[in-house]
């Protein structure tokens, strides 16, 4: 059996593994947007636990993202998106895997933006009791972190043009 040539599928698999975009990178590889997305996810997740709202009427209170999520369940999408972005960015160990996760990374960065946008566009009100509140800086910082993460999600993994040429091929040679 060992003297038989490789099957067609096995030959394709070996060719696939030699492509530079499939080279396994180290866990500490931070370039090509990976480190930036991990940092964005950690910052966004941490900001969720900060004070989001300062209520002054009908009572004086400070509400964090967690407190607001307990009242409005859909706000839990924010920390879930940050946690999923962290897992997605940290677990992609080749350029091809990073490029394949671009759409997911963009959606995970956009989810907190949508959450903040909905909260800004639909403030709570009551016909009987006046409600007065101000959004605190972690609330706006969450939106800013999501906005900063969007371009890194779009370009996650970078371009294939700047990868080294496969073994045995000159850099200017056309590959088919």
Q: What average pLDDT does this structure show over 150-161?
A: 87
Q: Using the predicted structure, report yes or no on whether residue 171 has a pLDDT greater than 60.
A: no
Q: What percent of the chain lies above the pLDDT cut of 70?
A: 87
Q: What is the pLDDT of residues 96-132, one digit of tens each?
A: 888 899 999 999 999 999 999 999 999 887 788 888 8
Q: What are phi and psi of 121, to 5 degrees?
A: -85, -20
Are 118 and 165 in contact, with CB atoms under 8 Å apart? Answer: no
What are 25-37's pLDDT values in tens digits? 777 778 888 899 9
Look at residue 158 in the predicted model and tell me its pLDDT: 79
Q: How far is CA 34 from the centre of its chain?
A: 9
149 confidence band (pLDDT: 50, 70, 90): very high
User: What pLDDT, on the 0 to 100 scale, is given for residue 4?
Assistant: 79
pLDDT at 170 over 60: no
pLDDT score at 93? 84
How far is residue 108's CA from residue 83's CA, in Å, rounded to a whole number? 9
């Amino acid at each position: 059996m060992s003297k038989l040539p490789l099957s067609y599928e096995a030959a394709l698999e070996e060719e696939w593994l030699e492509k530079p975009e499939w080279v396994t990178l180290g866990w500490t590889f931070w370039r090509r947007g990976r480190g930036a997305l991990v940092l964005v996810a950690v910052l966004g997740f941490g900001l969720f636990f900060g004070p989001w709202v300062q209520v002054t009427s009908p009572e004086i209170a400070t509400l964090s993202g967690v407190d607001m999520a307990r009242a409005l369940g859909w706000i839990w999408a924010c920390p879930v998106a940050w946690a999923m972005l962290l897992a997605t960015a940290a677990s992609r160990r080749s350029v091809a895997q990073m490029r394949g996760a671009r759409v997911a990374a963009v959606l995970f960065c956009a989810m907190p933006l949508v959450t903040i946008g909905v909260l800004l566009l639909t403030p709570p009100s009551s016909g009987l009791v006046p409600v007065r509140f101000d959004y605190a800086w972690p609330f706006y910082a969450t939106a800013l972190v999501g906005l900063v993460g969007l371009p890194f999600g779009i370009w996650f993994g970078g371009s294939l043009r700047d990868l080294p040429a496969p073994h045995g091929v000159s850099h200017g040679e056309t590959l088919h």
